[in-house]
Structure 1
Amino acid sequence: MAKQRLTGIRSVHYTPPEGVSGTVEATDVRGLLGRAGPAEFDGTQRLSFDLLVQVSSGTTEHTVDFTRYRLTVGDVLWLHTGQVHQWGDLTTFDGPVLMFSQGAISAATQEALRSTVAPDRNHWAAGALTSSAITRGIDHVADIVQNASLRADLRDIAARHALSAVLVELAALEPSTDLPHAAPPEAFVWFRELLEESYHHTRQVAAYAERLGYSTRTLNRLAQEWAGVTAKELIDERVMLEAKRALVHTDQPVAAIAEQLGFDDPSNFSAYFTHRAGMTPARFRATIPCG
């Protein structure tokens, strides 16, 4: 029997348990299940915070934006804010879990991470973790968060620093890339931020250039240098990702999806999608399983 698609992608916001304070929470998979119950992890979700989990026992599968990862002991999964994902069976594995907002990471660390592929990467296999430093680091964060003898404000500062160290170490294990190994210029960061705010309103490079006060040539140069694609391709990738999310994970009519993504006519959206995906939206929805 085919799975019924959901009527929407459920947004999940972080709500700390009673008595928990600070910007970083440490628990484990069993703790999550005990706190929220299995039903909380059914269906398709979009997190408003980051979540880092390392498998310490058992195996599971986890899907993040159409990529399915099989997780075994030692593997690390980093879910980034805004990504659409689906949990596997949480009863088949356990491991430490860290939850944190973007505000938990200093601006300097965020800038450093943006110069790596880590913000666009979700899975690190155990074999790629050349030492147990990551495991020790995750355990260290948990130890700090759960140390009731530390004053709350000092505990939070220490946890944030320890978490930053873990994330930077993960980023250092990134696969080889031809992109620059340095912090991107502010202009490119602003372009990516504006794209995230505006992809559902406009797909024109000139509109982004005008808003940012740069020429289209400058945006194209920045995109080629820091993302390996043109500015238009970067915009289209973001639009297509959201279109695919809606087609696969919801029952919304194609016309409604087109309107949400700023298309004035469903036929224009269909042509745009077909040109880039090699199939119509309806065919994509019928071909790709919902989970």
Structure 2
Amino acid sequence: MIHHLCSLLMLQTADIFVEYNRYTQVYVKRSGEIYRKFRKLLVENYRQHHNIAFYADELNISTTYLSRIVKHTTGNTVRFHISELLSADARRLLECTDLDIKEIASQLGFSDQSVFGKFFVKKTGLSPLKFRLKKERAIAR
């Protein structure tokens, strides 16, 4: 009987809490909202737009303000977030497709294969061709 009364008390307390929170507005800081919008824009546009100015312009804020918000929220720069998405996509395309490196560079919005190659070496320590060959050899074993 005591167990059931305790359960009833907990249910009533939970109902009061839910009712109270129904009318309490949740406030998201402006910086949190800007960061959320930035991430959404980034996922939609990272292949075409590699510069901070595009994202700041789309959000109607300065590049300095966007940089500050992203750095404060995540501990990493805008450029870091862009390069991480590009790098992950490049690795996936090199591993899972037969596209030429030139085609991958074009798909990822690089001006030419050389610029893409330098970016990829900086991120992985391997050229795109060596990365692809290394993965192919690992699969063949």
Give your verdict on TM over 0.5.
Answer: yes
Structure-1 residue corresponding to 2:128: 281
What SS is found at the alignment partner of 1:252?
A: coil
State the distance in 2 between where 1:287 and 1:210 align: 40
Alignment counterpart, residue 214 of structure 1, candidates 33, 38, 61: 61
Q: TM-score, normalised by structure 1?
A: 0.36
Cα distance in 2 between the residues matched to 1:290 and 1:238: 24
Match of 2:100 among 246, 253, 258: 253
Identical positions, percent = 35
For 1:10-49, list aligned pairs within 5 A: none
CA distance in 1, matches of 2:126, 2:53: 28
One-letter amino acid matched to 1:198: N
More helix by share: 2
- Given the alignment, which residue of 52, 62, 77 partners 1:205? 52
* 1:243 partner amino acid: A
Larger % of strand: which? Answer: 1
Out of 188, 191, 194, the residue aligned to residue 41 of structure 2 is: 194
Shift in Å, 1:226: 2.0
Q: CA deviation at 1:287?
A: 2.0
The equivalent residue for 1:235 is: 82
Hey, what does 2:111 align to over in structure 1?
264
Query: How far apart are the structure 2 equivalents of 1:210 and 1:230?
Result: 17
C-alpha distance in 1, partners of 2:50/2:90?
Answer: 13
The one-letter code matched in structure 2 to 1:261 is L
Q: Distance in 2 between matches of 1:290 and 1:236?
A: 27
* Cα separation, 2, equivalents of 1:287 and 1:219: 38
1:225-252 deviation digits (Å, cap 9, x = unpaired): 2222101101110111111100011111
CA distance in 2, matches of 1:277, 1:235: 15
Consecutive unaligned residues in structure 2, runs of 5 or more: 1-27
Based on CA coordinates, which of the two structures has the bigger radius of gyration?
2
Counterparts of 1:196 and 1:215 in 2: how far apart (Å)? 20
User: Matches of 1:212 and 1:290 in 2, distance apart?
Assistant: 43
Residues 217 and 285 from structure 1, CA distance in 2 versus in 1: closer, same or farther, beyond 3 angstroms?
same
Which runs of 5 or more structure 1 residues have no equivalent in the other structure? 1-181
What are the superposed Cα offsets for residues 16-61 of structure 1, whole Å, 9 maximum, x if unpaired?
A: xxxxxxxxxxxxxxxxxxxxxxxxxxxxxxxxxxxxxxxxxxxxxx
Instruction: For 1:264 and 1:242, locate their aligned partners in 2 and report how far apart those are by CA, in whole Å.
Output: 17
Runs ≥4 in structure 1, deviation > 4 angstroms?
none
Aligned-pair Cα RMSD in Å: 2.0
The count of corresponding residues between Structure 1 and Structure 2 is: 110
Say if 1:223 and 1:234, in contact at 8 Å, map to a contact too: no
* 1:210, distance to aligned residue in structure 2 (A): 1.1
